[in-house]
Amino acid sequence: MTSPRPDPDSTELDPEEARAEVARLRDELYRHAYLYFVEARPEIGDDVYDRMFRRLQSLEEAFPELVSPESPTHRVGAPPQDKFETVEHVAPMLSLDSSEKGEDVARFDERVRKALGAGVEPVYLLEPKLDGASIELVYVDGVLERAVTRGNGREGERVTENIRTIPTVPLRLRTDVREAPPLLSLRGEVMMYISDFAHFNASLLESGQEPYASPRNSAAGSIRQLDSRVTASRKLEVMVYDVLAAEGVSFATDSEGVAAIRDWGFVVPDPIETAVSVEEIVSYHARFEEHRDDLDYEIDGVVIKLDHLAARRAMGSTAHHPRWAMAFKFPPRQEVTVIEAIAIQVGRTGVLTPVAWLRPVTVGGVTVSRASLHNREELRRKDLREGDTVRIQRAGDVIPQVVEVLEHHDDRAQPFEMPSECPVCGTEVYEEGPRTICPNRFGCAAQLKGRIQHFGSRAALDIEGLGEETATLLVDRGLVRRLADLFDIEPKQLMELEGFGEKSATALVAAIASKRNPDLRRFLTALGIPEVGVTVARSLAESFGDFDAIRRAGREELEAIDGIGPRMSEAITGFFAEERNAAAIDALLAQGVEPKTVERVAADLPDLGTAVFTGTIPVPRVVAETAWRNVGGKTSGSVSKKTEFVVAGENAGSKLEKAERLGVEVLTFDEFLVRLREHGGALEEER
């Protein structure tokens, strides 16, 4: 048997010969990758595949003009990025309404049948609810153009280079069965198989790194690596299940869309079935729940979707979820283990949370070694002590919880007592209801890490690069002991920290410095004042105009603002009166941080009264509230006799009941739009 003839040297080929061979190699590599990763029926061995891959690499190096983003060689990753670009989705990526109860599925079916009308039988598409990280894949003329995380459902982060490294994502759509549309947007889930997750976590522990909590966390963290070569080193999969948009292509049913997804070369969750009754839905759910532990990937329920697409469009969606679909979740997984120790964890807001350190136990493929005990009253109510044998449960991605004590020894440990001082900073704690709180908001290292992260968050000052990992590094290395220290950091100090180079260090320092003159609303949000979220911060800014006036305001002045009552005003005045808080704020101002003043609403605008929004409306609530304020109205979060009208969306609750009881006018969202337009107003997209 003779050895195969070696490939000619790449430099000996002319450009046209190289172009033809590159095209042939890419087609062969696409086909064999599909056979191996999607259909699990390889035709060639790894050595042959690797030889073709290396040949393609050498040709692309010799002929750079032939390099293409769709080339299989892009699977190995690209040079590190500085940050991720925020990109708008082609179509919204909504959440799903969900329940663990069969009766809620029956009610969902009733609503669908009512919407379709008498004599029309609904057909449902059923699929497993994958527990991974959602991703949008956008193809232009059949080639992967971008991949975007779900984000807030309207926009997310472009992580294209990372997604290119995942073998089950076609860089170019298969078109041997079905043509590729000019524009195609698909929704899928990035997964890490449970077996791969176990090996990955073991390798992290061996190298002294912190393991991930679950396969879902691992997948989400892997696709947000700035260095895509790190992503490429991890075993990730993508399953695709939804056509978000397809230009020039129409499907009558979702089932047709799923068939197209398969034809284009993707892995699809299996099995996907149709059903025409609640009984068939419950049976499908029961089968998956029974065999859930046999799967090598995480699911947390099944998804029920109306199959007929025209009927979906007729039913529509709320701002949060489609009316034509729901998730039928599984009950939380439970296991039995022992509480080996009880410790205290201090959060961003200063709340001391008791945490049980458990004898490690596997719950649904994830090793669990700790569980939240919530607060001192919950701890006493369940009478949980060190050494007790307990039942724990893990639902979704939350920290596991202790359900109950199953048994304990006669020589049982003494009841756990909450400390009188913060275990991190030594400050005397105080009790507020069932919670125990450290008041050292800006001086406690545990709180400071969270406060730095919040300070730079999108809702606050929006400082690019100031996330959880960076905040932890800054505090642990002693670079930041109070918020004001952020403005003293120099690039050379950051360059000594893991993960920072000259470019990223300079960028972060510049991003922080650019926030010395922030919007007043954002600055108030960034301070983390109790009871003050984005809406209240905006009301304070618009009512007082400048920070000093807000800081000096008394309770009566605050309560004169719609939506601010006694409890909220007490929290605000108490925050500014506390010596540690005042010192931290003074230090920020001494650094030259000067919040912008806010111009009052023009005096010639009419006073149109206060509107209260309740329930689910078709646009983000902040958009509707801003539109009403722009024409001279006010908004509030609570209903009173001073309320002009209430806009009641779907599932409106106690606010609607109170409005009816007080005789306050109630409008539908469409009626609100009519009134808004009567005063020259209009909705704008949320910025």
Q: How far is CA 186 from the centre of its chain?
A: 18
Query: Do residues 125 and 328 make contact, with C-beta atoms less than 8 angstroms apart?
Result: no
Cα–Cα distance measured from residue 175 to residue 184, given in angstroms and rounded to the nearest whole number: 13
Helix (H, G, I), strand (E, B) or coil at 403: strand
Tell me which residue of 492, 499, 493 sits closest to 479, measured CA to CA. 493
Beta strands in 408-553 (DSSP E): 430-432, 435-437
> Strand 86-88 to strand 155-157: parallel, antiparallel, or no bridges (unpaired)?
antiparallel
Polymer length of the chain: 687
Locate 171 and state its tokens. 């860089």
Among the listed residues 129, 329, 634, 655, the single catalytic one is: 129
Residue 274: beta bridge partners? Answer: 125
Radius of gyration of the chain (CA): 29
Residue 239: beta bridge partners? Answer: 189, 267
Locate 197 and state its tokens. 């997750």
Which bin fits 151, alpha (ψ -120 to 50), beta or left (φ > 0)?
left
Cα–Cα distance measured from residue 347 to residue 369, given in angstroms and rounded to the nearest whole number: 19
End-to-end CA distance of the chain: 69
Query: Do residues 588 and 455 make contact, with C-beta atoms less than 8 angstroms apart?
Result: no
Tell me which residue of 297, 293, 75, 332 sits closest to 197, measured CA to CA. 297
Locate 637 and state its tokens. 């979060």
Active site residue 634: no
Which bin fits 183, alpha (ψ -120 to 50), beta or left (φ > 0)?
beta
Which residues are catalytic, by number?
129
